[in-house]
Structure formats: structure tokens, C-alpha cells
Amino acid sequence: MGMNRRLCLITGASSGIGAEFAKQYAALGWDLALTARRADRLQVLAAELHARHGVLVEVIPEDLANPGAPPRIIAALEGKGREIDALVNNAGYGLPGTFLSTSWSDQADFLQVLYTAPVELTHRVLPGMAARGFGRIINVASLAGYTAGSAGHTLYGSVKSAMIKFSESVAAECETLGHKDVHCTALCPGFTWSEFHDVNGMRETTNKMPKWMWMEAAPVVKAGIEAVNRGQPVVVPGVFNKAVATLTRILPEPVGRALAHSQTARYRKLEG
């Protein structure tokens, strides 16, 4: 029954964009595997989606800061005889403070969760997708991957930029090797309403920003799913975000850096 449906693995699925991905894939009739640290939230979401859409939902509580998490997640699904047809690498957070004021342990965990773990999960699921002739990988990057570096949250922009390049490379390799229905897309949202800004301590600051700069999670996720289905390597949802991404490409680099520096206090927390 459910074993004949496609399965989508979503990281960071307990809230925000991750939970919205779960809702939209469930509405499309996909079974789900949801992973995050908060098992209680995953269970509530799983029960809701099963009741509403009749899909099977596996809950796998894991902390991706632990290097052993990616292989355990894959092994848990393989142990149930499930193949992963789609992967949404969504788990992430912002690390407040400067590089000088934060510990290496915190920075290492950040790199593990936002870069190493999604790259490893992609590496683990991609061979099966290629062998079956179907696969969808969405890496949730950010508009910050396009903008110049600035003070605070030091590694965030560089990691998101790397996720964009990584996604483009995987997409190009799949196309070059003839895996025509295996697609990889970097989804690059700007400011999106979610718990993300509560976790990184920026809610008070971001609440002062103009509402037209923000998007709801639903259209962001919809743009990502539609883009990966048509084989688009990168998608920037929203008119404002598209304008910013375009502007970063045409502005002289010194101007872009000066602009980013002048806006730092609006969207970066320099104290941990």
C-alpha cells in the first residue's frame, strides 16, 4: 500500500519551512520521513498529516550536529525497506555573534548541520536515485548566499553560497551523466516567517523590518517543489528577493560590500 508511494526525507521538519515541505509533499500523496531534534513536534505533525492525507510518516529524531546522524537516518529507512525518492535538506539555524566572540565548538556544529550533513545525505541517497531513474533533491540555501559577507553570523552566507554551488554541480553532473529525471535544486528564500529568527535571537530586530520584505513559508516551498520538478538548479522565490539577487550580480563588489556593511545591524546580531 504505502510502500508503493514515493518517499520524501525532510530534515529540520519540526517547524517553519521544513514543516511546510512536509505538508505540501503529503498533500501531493508522498509518504514522508521527518527528522529533527524535537520528537514531540514531529509526532504531532506526523499524526496530523496521516489523518489528513492518509500517507505513511516515519519519525526519526536526530541531531544533525552529531556526525553519526546521517548514516543512522538512512539506515533506519533502509531497515524498513524504504527507498528515498526525494530529499529536502532544510535543517538550519543562525549562529549569533562574531567569529571572535563564538567558540569553535559552536562553529563546528554549525558547519556540520548546515553543510556537512546535507552534503553527506545527498551523497548517500544519490546513487539509489540514479539507479532507479528518479530523484528530487532540494537544498534550502538562502538569499544570503548571493550577498556580500558582513559582520556577524560569520559562516552563514558562505555556507549558503556553497550550497548553491554544490546544488548546481550535482544538477550538472546528473544531466551530464544522463540521469535526466534526477534533479537537484538550491532554494534561496529571503526573509521568511518562521521560528528561525526566534532561535537566533533576531525576532525583535526583524519585527521592525518592512512587511513587504517577508514571505510566508507556503509560497517559498511551492516554488522549491515546482523548480526541482522542472529541473531548475537554483530558484529565488519572490519578486523582492529576485531583485536583490539580480542586484548583487550587477553591482561592483566594493559597492555591494559597503551596502551589506551599512545594513548589518538590521539583520545580524553581533553579540552571542
Higher local confidence (pLDDT), 149 or 40: 40
C-beta of residue 14 within 8 angstroms of C-beta of residue 42: yes
Q: Quick check: 202 pLDDT over 60?
A: no
C-alpha cell at 252: 561592483
Cα separations (Å) of 126 from 114, 133, 136, 183? 18, 10, 9, 10
- The answer to the question of residue 261 being in a domain is yes
- Measured in whole angstroms, the distance separating CA 106 from the mean position of its chain's CA atoms is 19
The residue annotated as part of the active site, out of 25, 146, 156, 267, is: 156
Going by pLDDT thresholds of 50, 70 and 90, the confidence category of residue 197 is: very low
C-beta of residue 187 within 8 angstroms of C-beta of residue 224: yes
Q: Quick check: 244 pLDDT over 50?
A: yes
DSSP, residue by residue, 72-118: HHHHHHHHTT----EEEE-------S-TTTS-HHHHHHHHIIIIIHH
- Stretch 195-206: mean pLDDT: 50
Question: What is the number of structural domains in the chain?
Answer: 1
Going by pLDDT thresholds of 50, 70 and 90, the confidence category of residue 1 is: very low
- b/e code 155-190 from CB counts within 10 Å (16+ = b): bbbebbbbbbebbeebbeebeeeebeebbbbbbbbb
The whole-number pLDDT of residue 173 equals 98
Element (H, E) at 135: strand 135-140
pLDDT tens, 138-166? 999 999 999 877 888 999 999 999 999 99
Residue 104's domain comprises 2-267
- Stretch 116-127: mean pLDDT: 98
Whether 156 is catalytic is: yes
Poorest-confidence range of 65-69, 82-86, 266-270? 266-270
- What's the rounded Cα separation, in Å, for the pair 99 and 103? 8
Q: Quick check: 265 pLDDT over 80?
A: no
Poorest-confidence range of 26-35, 131-140, 170-179, 240-249? 240-249
Global confidence as pTM: 0.88
**Strand 214-215 relative to strand 7-11: parallel, antiparallel, unpaired?**
unpaired
The whole-number pLDDT of residue 4 equals 76
The whole-number pLDDT of residue 198 equals 47
- What's the rounded Cα separation, in Å, for the pair 90 and 48? 20
Q: Quick check: 246 pLDDT over 50?
A: yes
pLDDT tens, 80-112? 999 999 999 999 999 999 999 999 999 999 999
- b/e code 121-144 from CB counts within 10 Å (16+ = b): bbebbbebbbeeebbbbbbbbbbb
Q: Quick check: 228 pLDDT over 70?
A: yes
- The answer to the question of residue 100 being in a domain is yes
Q: Quick check: 196 pLDDT over 60?
A: no
The whole-number pLDDT of residue 247 equals 81
- The answer to the question of residue 72 being in a domain is yes
CATH number for 109: 3.40.50.720
Supply the mean pLDDT for the chain. Answer: 89
- The answer to the question of residue 272 being in a domain is no
- The answer to the question of residue 244 being in a domain is yes
- The answer to the question of residue 222 being in a domain is yes
